[in-house]
C-alpha cells in the first residue's frame, strides 16, 4: 500500500492541505479561504474557529478526493502563518479572544514604550528580534490586559497561549498536546535563542505567566496523533513556521544557503549554521529548525514591495493586463533606457530602514515607453533583494553561492536572469515551488521514516532551471550605482 505525507499549510488568507508522495510530487491538494476581520481601528484578526474548521475541512477533503484513509498517511507536517497569537481556555477549548494576526499594529504604543525604556538591545540579544508589534509577545500582553478576567485565569493555569501551529496541534490531538517547535517559538519575542528556553526576564517584563506557554519541541518530532482526519490514528511529526519551512523545503541545509520567496513582498532567509549571527544591518536572527537534536539558525530580511510593484502597474497605472505580461514587455527592450523605479510605497526596509521614504520613478525622457517602466519595476525587485543579500553577506562574512527561489514572481524568467546578473550568483528554481508545504512534509517524513535522511532528500530535489550571471562587472557596477542614486531620491 502506497503511503503519503499530508502537509497542512495554515496561511494568512487560506488553509491548504497537500499530499506528497515519496518522490516529492504533489498528488492532490485542497484549499479553502477564510474570513479576514479588519476592524475600524485598523486591528487585524482571525476567528480561531475559522482557522481550525477550514484546515480540518481541507485535510479531510484531500484524503477523500483520492479515496485514502488514515492508514495511507505516514505522518502529518504542519506549517503556519507566523507570530499570529491565540489564547484559549483549556477546559472549554474556547478562545478568549480572536487570533491577533501578525499584521496587526495594535501594540505599537507598547513597543514604543519598551524601546524608549531602553530594552531594544536586551531583546535583540536574547531573541534575535527587533521590538515590533509584529511578534507575539506584546499581542499576548494585550489580550491579558484587555480581556476581562483573562489575567486571573492565566495566572491560575486555565489559559493556554499558542501560535497557530500550537493551536492546531492542540485541536488535532483533542487537547492532549500543547506544544510548538523551535522555529515558531523564535518568533514570539519571548524565546531565548541562545539558551533555547522561554526567557524569564522578558516574561516578567511583560507580566506573562510562564505556565500558559507551550512546550518547545524539535521541528521534526513526535507531536502525538490525531483521529479527526481519517478512520484511525495519524501521527503529527513535523512543524515549522512558513518561511523556515520554505528554507527547509528548498533544501537549504548547509551554512550559507539562501532562499528567496518572491510574493507580494519578498522573504529572504540564509542558513547561518549552528550559531546565531547578530546583524549590524537591521536583519533578524531566528531559528530555522531543530532536527536530530541539532538547532540551525537563520538570518532573515524582507522586502515590503516585490510582486506588489507589478500589481501596481496592473491595477494602479493600468499599463499591463496581467503580471505574466511583464516578462515579454521587459524583454522587448534592451535596457530601461536610464529609467529607475524604487517602489518605496510604504517606506524602505532592510538595509535602508527609512519609513519616510516614498516611491520614485526617475530618469524619464521623451523616449521612455511603458516597456521601459515595466522593465524598471521588475529590476527594482531584484535590486532590493540584492541589497538584503549584501547585508547578510556582510553580517556573516560569507559570499552567496546560489539563490534558491520560489513564490509567484519567481515564474518570471527575465526577473530571475536579472537577479542572477545583478547579484552575481546562480539562481536556482526548483520543479516544485510549493516549498513551504514541502518543507513541513520533509520534516514530518524524516521523523516517521518516510524519507531516510536530509542527504537523501537533497539528492532527490529537482531543479527546473538554473540562471547564471551573464553581464560584465563594469555593467553591474554602473547599474548598481544608478539604483543607489535613485534610492537617495526617495526622501523628499
Ligand atoms: P502571496 O503569497 O504574497 O500572495 P504569490 O506567491 O502568490 O504571493 O505571488 C503573487 C505576486 O507575484 C503578485 O504580487 C504578482 O504581481 C506577482 N507575480 C505573479 N506572476 C508574476 C510574473 N510572471 N511576473 C512578475 N510578477 C508576478
Domains of the chain listed by start with CATH number? 4-240 (3.30.420.40)
- Sheet containing strand 73-80, edge to edge, reads 26-33, 14-20, 4-10, 73-80, 234-241, 225-226
pLDDT above 70: percentage of residues in the chain: 100
Examine residue 351 and say whether the peptide bond preceding it is cis (omega within 30 degrees of 0): yes
Ligand 1 shell residues, CB under 6 Å = 263-264, 307-308, 310-311, 323-324, 326-327, 407-409, 411-412
Contacts of 6 (CB under 8 A, 6+ apart): 17, 18, 19, 59, 62, 63, 73, 75, 76, 77, 229, 234, 441
Minimum CA distance residue for ligand 1 atom 18: 409
pLDDT value of residue 355: 74
Minimum CA distance residue for ligand 1 atom 27: 409
* Rounded distance between C-alpha atoms, residue 180 and residue 168, angstroms: 10
What is the model's pTM? 0.93
Q: For residue 461, is pLDDT > 90? A: no
Q: Given the CA of residue 262, which atom of ligand 1 is nearest to it?
A: 6
Q: pLDDT per residue over 60-117, tens digit each?
A: 999 999 999 999 999 999 999 999 999 999 999 999 999 999 988 899 899 999 999 9
pLDDT value of residue 353: 78
Q: Which of 408, 410, 415, 432 to mutate to test the pocket of ligand 1 (most atoms within 8 A of CB)?
A: 408
Ligand 1: centre distance to CA 381 (Å): 12
Minimum CA distance residue for ligand 1 atom 14: 307
* Rounded distance between C-alpha atoms, residue 351 and residue 364, angstroms: 26
pLDDT value of residue 349: 80
- Sheet containing strand 463-467, edge to edge, reads 284-291, 294-303, 266-273, 258-262, 402-406, 426-430, 463-467
Contacts of 85 (CB under 8 A, 6+ apart): 99, 100, 136, 139, 140, 143, 161, 163
When pLDDT is averaged across residues 176-192 and rounded to a whole number, the result is 98
Choose among 419, 399, 400: nearest CA to 409: 419
DSSP 477: H
Ligand 1: centre distance to CA 307 (Å): 5
Ligand 1: centre distance to CA 411 (Å): 8
Contacts of 242 (CB under 8 A, 6+ apart): 9, 11, 79, 80, 81, 82, 436
Q: pLDDT per residue over 243-273, tens digit each?
A: 999 999 999 999 999 999 998 889 999 999 9
Minimum CA distance residue for ligand 1 atom 20: 409
Choose among 415, 416, 414, 427: nearest CA to 331: 414
Strands (E) in 229-334, as ranges, are 234-241, 258-262, 266-273, 284-291, 294-303
Q: For residue 41, is pLDDT > 80? A: no
When pLDDT is averaged across residues 314-336 and rounded to a whole number, the result is 96
As beta bridge partners, residue 31 has 16
* Rounded distance between C-alpha atoms, residue 295 and residue 283, angstroms: 19
Q: Given the CA of residue 407, which atom of ligand 1 is nearest to it?
A: 6
Ligand 1: centre distance to CA 267 (Å): 13
Contacts of 444 (CB under 8 A, 6+ apart): 5, 7, 74, 75, 76, 77, 220, 236, 237, 238, 450
Amino acid at each position: 500500500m502506497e503511503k503519503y505525507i499530508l502537509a497542512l499549510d495554515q496561511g494568512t488568507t487560506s488553509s491548504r492541505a497537500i499530499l506528497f508522495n515519496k518522490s516529492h510530487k504533489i498528488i492532490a491538494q485542497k484549499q479553502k479561504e477564510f474570513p479576514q476581520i479588519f476592524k475600524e481601528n485598523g486591528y487585524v484578526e482571525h476567528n480561531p474557529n475559522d482557522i481550525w474548521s477550514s484546515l480540518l475541512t481541507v485535510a479531510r477533503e484531500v484524503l477523500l478526493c483520492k479515496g485514502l484513509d488514515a492508514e495511507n498517511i505516514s505522518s502529518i507536517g504542519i506549517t503556519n502563518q507566523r507570530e499570529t497569537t491565540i489564547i484559549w481556555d483549556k477546559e472549554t477549548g474556547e478562545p478568549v479572544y480572536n487570533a491577533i494576526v501578525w499584521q496587526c499594529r495594535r501594540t505599537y504604543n507598547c513597543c514604543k514604550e519598551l524601546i524608549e525604556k531602553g530594552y531594544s538591545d536586551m531583546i535583540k540579544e536574547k531573541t534575535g528580534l527587533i521590538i515590533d508589534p509584529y511578534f507575539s509577545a506584546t499581542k499576548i500582553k494585550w489580550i491579558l490586559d484587555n480581556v476581562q478576567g483573562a489575567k486571573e485565569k492565566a495566572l491560575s493555569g486555565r489559559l493556554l497561549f499558542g501560535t497557530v501551529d500550537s493551536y492546531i496541534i492542540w485541536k488535532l490531538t483533542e487537547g492532549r498536546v500543547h506544544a510548538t517547535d523551535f522555529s515558531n517559538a523564535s518568533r514570539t519575542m519571548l524565546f531565548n535563542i541562545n539558551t533555547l528556553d522561554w526567557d524569564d526576564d522578558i516574561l516578567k517584563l511583560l507580566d506573562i505567566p510562564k505556565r500558559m506557554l507551550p512546550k518547545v519541541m524539535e521541528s521534526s518530532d513526535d507531536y502525538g496523533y490525531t483521529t479527526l482526519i481519517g478512520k484511525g490514528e495519524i501521527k503529527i511529526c513535523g512543524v515549522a513556521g512558513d518561511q523556515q519551512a520554505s528554507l527547509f523545503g528548498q533544501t537549504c541545509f548547509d551554512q550559507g544557503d539562501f532562499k528567496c520567496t518572491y510574493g507580494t513582498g519578498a522573504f529572504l532567509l540564509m542558513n547561518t549554521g549552528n550559531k546565531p549571527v547578530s546583524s549590524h544591518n537591521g536583519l533578524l536572527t531566528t531559528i530555522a529548525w531543530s532536527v536530530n537534536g541539532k538547532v540551525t539558525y537563520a538570518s532573515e530580511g524582507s522586502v515590503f514591495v516585490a510582486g506588489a510593484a507589478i500589481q501596481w502597474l496592473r491595477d494602479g497605472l493600468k499599463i499591463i493586463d496581467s503580471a505574466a505580461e511583464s516578462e515579454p514587455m521587459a524583454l522587448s527592450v534592451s535596457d530601461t533606457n536610464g529609467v529607475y523605479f524604487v517602489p518605496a510605497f510604504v517606506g524602505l526596509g532592510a538595509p535602508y530602514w527609512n519609513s519616510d521614504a516614498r516611491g520614485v520613478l526617475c530618469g524619464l525622457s521623451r523616449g521612455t515607453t511603458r516597456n521601459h517602466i515595466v522593465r524598471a519595476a521588475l529590476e527594482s525587485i531584484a535590486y532590493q533583494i540584492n541589497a538584503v543579500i549584501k547585508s547578510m553577506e556582510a553580517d556573516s562574512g560569507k559570499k552567496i553561492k546560489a539563490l534558491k527561489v520560489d513564490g509567484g514572481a519567481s515564474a518570471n524568467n527575465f526577473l530571475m536572469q536579472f537577479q542572477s546578473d545583478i547579484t552575481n550568483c546562480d539562481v536556482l528554481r526548483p520543479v516544485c515551488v510549493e516549498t513551504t508545504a514541502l518543507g513541513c512534509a520533509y520534516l514530518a517524513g524524516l521523523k516517521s521514516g518516510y524519507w531516510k535522511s536530509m542527504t537523501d532528500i537533497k539528492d532527490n530535489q529537482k531543479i527546473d532551471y538554473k540562471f547564471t550571471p551573464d553581464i560584465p562587472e563594469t555593467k553591474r557596477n554602473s547599474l548598481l550605482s544608478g539604483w543607489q542614486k535613485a534610492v537617495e531620491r526617495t526622501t523628499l
